[in-house]
Amino acid sequence: MNKLQEIIEELKKLERELLLEMQKKQKEFYYKIKGGKIYFEEETRKYHKTLVTRLHTYIAEAPLLNILTVPVIWFCIFPALFLDITVSVFQCICFTVYGIPKVRRKDHIVIDRQSLQYLNPIEKLNCLYCGYFNGLIAYVQEVAARTEQYWCPIKHAKKIGSFHSRYHKFLEYGDGAEYQKRLEEIRHDFRDLQ
């Protein structure tokens, strides 16, 4: 195993540890997840309700510039919805043709903060928006990553901002012989997703 593979394996291990630590928070903050729903203990729910910032206070204390930028933020929902539909149709058609495992949208778009009783309706709406938008970006990135693995599995020569989930399978930049030899193998190497 080369050094890059070792680092990737270490990152995966750390990601698993992170998930375990996050699951421990369920006990610390007295909630359980059953059947995809989140349940807080009754005492915790009551306590959370005492923490809510009332709407009139929330709005009165909001900086004016924050209020003025709300239409700009919410306008972004239209291109986001269009992107969501487009990418979903794209993968439905193209991934079927190419034999690429489909990305489960619900693994990326997580809407669950409405269960938090310490948020007022505006905060819940904001959390809904952010959960959708950031989840959508993660979903689109995963669809793009699998598409790139199929069509152009070559690492970049220049530094990139972040690595997507499939990048470790890509061939080295400039290694034309390996590209010719292994392209078909890499195009169909999605065993780790099954």
Spans of all domains in the chain: 25-193
pTM over 0.75: yes
How big is the CA angle at 105 (ends 121 and 191), to the nearest 5 degrees?
150
| pLDDT value at 27 more than 70 | yes
Nearest alpha-carbon partner for 165 in 145, 140, 143? 145
Residue position matching structure tokens 């990305």: 103
> How does the average pLDDT of the chain come out, rounded?
91
Mean pLDDT, to the nearest integer, of 15-37?
79
How, if at all, do strands 31-34 and 37-40 pair? antiparallel
Binned at pLDDT 50, 70 and 90, residue 24 comes out as: confident
Q: What is the dihedral of CA 156, 157, 162, 167, to 10 degrees?
A: 40
Q: Which residues contact 136 (CB under 8 A, 6 or more apart)?
A: 80, 83, 84, 108, 109
Q: Which residues contact 96 (CB under 8 A, 6 or more apart)?
A: 102
For 95-140, how does the pLDDT look when each residue is reduced to its tens digit (9 = 90+)?
Answer: 999 999 999 999 999 999 888 999 999 999 999 999 999 999 999 9
26-30, 150-154, 179-183 — which is least confidently predicted? 26-30
Q: How far is CA 152 from the centre of its chain?
A: 23
pLDDT at residue 90, as a whole number = 98
